[in-house]
């Protein structure tokens, strides 16, 4: 997420830190580079222009020039302005009113509306709400079946449309079912098109008029950059939206849509999709996202994810093991399984300031379902003594472990290297924990 833009901005500010005192020329040159980086990141031209003017207005003056740490002060200003650009603060979903509260999901084909409906259902389940799914896309083949499969997987109830029903009939009947069933909210998966047309907008406007949804949320593909921004602008002008869900953020290395869409539409980003799984949905926090963009990590989100996954008692037991330097390969295997529930390991490392760079030398970090099974097979092929005292695993033992697990010696070596690195990191984060950072809350990173 934002990898290309982050690397460019980090390089610019690293050069600035080399200057003891900043001159107006230093600042102008740095902001020119920032401008180019943002434009190359597919950020809207007008948004970039206004952003640079705002930063420049604050930077060329006493706020930076007279500061004891001018480069840090400039970075602080840039972070604040990026935060403001993306909306300033989290915008919560409006669930006020009599249940079931209607929420409409709109957008074009391929943006991920149906999957997002499932993700939102899971999100509200975790908030102790009872969601009800309504499949109102009668045009895309298997769209209704897809939403129903998601409902079954999540154990969330859903409406089963009749063949003769129009999208509006489906919504009104579904709302009646949800009212009788005592559900808190209804999530309506509407039809999309390959492009915006009047027939689509007429259908959506009619549904909006009858259902009076508390939220009309546009689902947009972040990887399409300025196309997503233009689509959001058009939907807002022709239908009226209340917020945006940006999908596929985990694959967006540029960040143009996330940085432009609020300024162009005046509508906030409320959620971001960060993977294909149903738990891969995050509330959008502009200040945390600004920190990620500037390579400062996002420890708050990491702690929230960890608290949702880890048992506090087990966390404290593990913390004791780490402090006593008795963290074994069995513990490592168990922790990888827990961490994977928080999302991809690569995305988690990106939330820890500076850590993803340290890990780049360890090769691809890919603990997906298949990769984790190979890790388990390698560790399970070790003797109990080898799992406890990894230092005794010499060349012949590595060959035996590889043969026993159906892997290669190279994979065994890579696993042991990662494990040794994890032990070092844990010691570092235990020390940070003693200073108050997530102590007892992040087992894998304690």
Enter the tokens of residue 135. 């499949």
C-alpha gyration radius of the chain: 25
445 closest CA partner among 307, 330, 248? 307
| Total number of domains in the chain | 3
| Among 247, 262, 293, residue at a domain's last position | 293
Q: Are residue 289 and residue 304 in the same domain, yes or no?
A: no
d(CA 410, CA 361): 15
Q: How confident is the model at residue 67 (pLDDT cuts 50, 70, 90)?
A: low
| Among 257, 274, 293, residue at a domain's last position | 293
Asked whether residue 194 is domain-assigned, the answer is: yes
Q: How many other CB atoms sit within 10 Å of the CB of residue 341?
A: 13
Secondary structure (DSSP) of 10-76:
HHHHHHHHT-SS--HHHHHHHHHHHHHHHHHTT--HHHHHHHHHHHHHHHSSHHHHT-SSHHHHHHH
Q: Are residue 252 and residue 197 in the same domain, yes or no?
A: yes
123 closest CA partner among 92, 148, 149? 92
Q: Are residue 23 and residue 153 in the same domain, yes or no?
A: no
pLDDT at 36: 92
Q: Are residue 131 and residue 249 in the same domain, yes or no?
A: yes
Asked whether residue 388 is domain-assigned, the answer is: yes
Beta bridge partners of 264: none
From residue 168, give the alpha-carbon distance in Å to each of 189, 235, 293: 12, 19, 42
Question: How many DSSP H helices and E strands does the chain contain?
Answer: 21, 7
User: What value does the mean pLDDT take over residues 69-81?
Assistant: 82
Q: Are residue 354 and residue 305 in the same domain, yes or no?
A: yes
| Among 27, 58, 85, residue at a domain's last position | 85
d(CA 347, CA 62): 38
Asked whether residue 127 is domain-assigned, the answer is: yes
Task: Give the strand order in the sheet containing 101-106.
Answer: 131-136, 185-190, 101-106, 215-221, 243-247, 269-273, 281-283
Q: Which residue has the tokens 């939403």?
A: 147
**Weakest-pLDDT range from 17-21, 233-237, 373-377:** 17-21
Q: Are residue 106 and residue 194 in the same domain, yes or no?
A: yes
Q: Are residue 57 and residue 114 in the same domain, yes or no?
A: no
Asked whether residue 258 is domain-assigned, the answer is: yes
Asked whether residue 95 is domain-assigned, the answer is: no
Q: How confident is the model at residue 88 (pLDDT cuts 50, 70, 90)?
A: confident
User: What value does the mean pLDDT take over residues 12-20?
Assistant: 76
Task: Give the CATH number of the domain where residue 217 resides.
Answer: 3.40.50.300
d(CA 289, CA 282): 11
User: pLDDT tens across 195-222, in order?
Assistant: 788 888 899 999 999 999 999 999 998 8
pLDDT at 444: 36
d(CA 423, CA 383): 20
User: pLDDT tens across 241-300, in order?
Assistant: 999 999 988 777 677 888 888 889 999 999 999 888 888 888 888 888 888 888 765 456
Q: Are residue 44 and residue 185 in the same domain, yes or no?
A: no
Q: Are residue 413 and residue 374 in the same domain, yes or no?
A: yes
Q: How many other CB atoms sit within 10 Å of the CB of residue 12?
A: 19
Percent of the chain with pLDDT over 90: 30
The domain of 22 spans 3-85
Q: Which residue has the tokens 């990191």?
A: 425
From residue 152, give the alpha-carbon distance in Å to each of 10, 30, 105: 45, 53, 20
Asked whether residue 93 is domain-assigned, the answer is: no
User: pLDDT tens across 354-370, in order?
Assistant: 554 544 444 444 445 56
Task: Give the CATH number of the domain where residue 427 resides.
Answer: 1.10.260.30
Q: How many other CB atoms sit within 10 Å of the CB of residue 350?
A: 23
φ, ψ for residue 150, nearest 5 deg: -65, -40
Spatial contact of 291 and 299, defined as CB atoms under 8 Å apart: no
Percent of the chain with pLDDT over 70: 78
Task: Give the CATH number of the domain where residue 56 resides.
Answer: 1.20.120.140
Q: How confident is the model at residue 437 (pLDDT cuts 50, 70, 90)?
A: very low
Three-class SS of residue 134?
Answer: strand
Asked whether residue 366 is domain-assigned, the answer is: yes
Q: Are residue 271 and residue 317 in the same domain, yes or no?
A: no
Q: Are residue 229 and residue 351 in the same domain, yes or no?
A: no
Asked whether residue 184 is domain-assigned, the answer is: yes
User: What value does the mean pLDDT take over residues 53-73?
Assistant: 73
Q: Are residue 255 and residue 375 in the same domain, yes or no?
A: no
Please report how the helices 45-59 and 24-40 are oriented relative to each other, as an axis angle in degrees rounded to 10: 160
Q: Which 8-state DSSP code applies to residue 110?
A: T
Q: Which residue has the tokens 């929230």?
A: 304
Secondary structure (DSSP) of 233-296:
HHHHHHT--SEEEEE-GGG-SS-HHHHHHHHHHS--EEEEE-SSSTT-EEE--HHHHHHHHTT-
């Amino acid at each position: 997420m934002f990898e290309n833009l982050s690397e460019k901005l980090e390089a610019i500010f690293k050069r600035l830190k080399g200057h003891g005192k900043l001159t107006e020329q230093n600042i102008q040159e740095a902001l020119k580079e920032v401008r180019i980086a943002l434009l190359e990141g597919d950020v809207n031209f007008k948004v970039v222009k206004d952003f640079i003017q705002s930063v420049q207005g604050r930077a060329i003056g006493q706020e930076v020039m007279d500061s004891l740490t001018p480069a840090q002060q400039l970075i602080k200003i840039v972070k604040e302005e990026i935060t403001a650009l993306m909306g300033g603060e989290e915008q919560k979903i409006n669930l006020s009113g009599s249940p079931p509260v209607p929420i409409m999901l709109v957008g074009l084909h391929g943006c991920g509306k149906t999957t997002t409906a499932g993700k939102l259902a899971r999100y509200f389940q975790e908030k102790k709400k009872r969601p009800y799914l309504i499949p109102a896309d009668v045009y895309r083949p298997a769209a209704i079946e897809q939403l129903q499969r998601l409902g079954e997987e999540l154990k969330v109830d859903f409406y089963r449309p009749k063949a003769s029903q129009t999208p509006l009939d489906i919504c009104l009947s579904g709302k009646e079912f949800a009212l009788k069933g005592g559900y808190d909210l209804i999530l309506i998966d509407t039809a999309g098109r390959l492009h915006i047309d009047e027939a689509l907008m007429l259908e959506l406007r009619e549904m909006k008029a009858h259902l009076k949804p508390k939220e009309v949320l546009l689902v947009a593909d972040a990887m399409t950059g300025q196309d997503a921004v233009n689509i959001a602008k058009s939907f807002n002008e022709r239908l009226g939206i209340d917020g945006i869900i940006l999908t596929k953020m985990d694959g967006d290395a540029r960040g143009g849509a996330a940085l432009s869409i609020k300024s162009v539409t005046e509508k906030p980003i409320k959620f971001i999709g960060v993977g294909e799984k149903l738990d891969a949905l995050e509330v959008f926090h502009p200040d945390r996202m600004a920190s990620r963009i500037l390579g400062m990590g996002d420890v708050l989100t990491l702690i929230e994810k960890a608290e949702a996954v880890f048992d506090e008692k087990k966390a404290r037991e593990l913390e004791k093991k780490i402090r006593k330097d008795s963290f074994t390969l069995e513990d490592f295997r168990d922790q990888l399984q827990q961490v994977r529930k928080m999302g991809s390991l690569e995305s988690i490392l990106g939330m820890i300031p500076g850590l993803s760079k340290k890990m780049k030398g360890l090769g691809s970090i890919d603990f997906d379902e298949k990769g984790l099974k190979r890790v388990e097979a390698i560790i399970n092929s070790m003797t109990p003594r080898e799992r406890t005292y990894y230092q005794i695993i010499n060349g012949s033992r590595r060959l035996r472990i590889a043969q026993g697990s159906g892997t290669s010696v190279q994979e065994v070596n890579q696993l042991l290297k990662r494990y040794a690195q994890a032990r070092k990191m844990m010691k570092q984060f235990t020390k940070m924990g003693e200073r108050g950072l997530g102590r007892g809350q992040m087992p894998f990173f304690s």
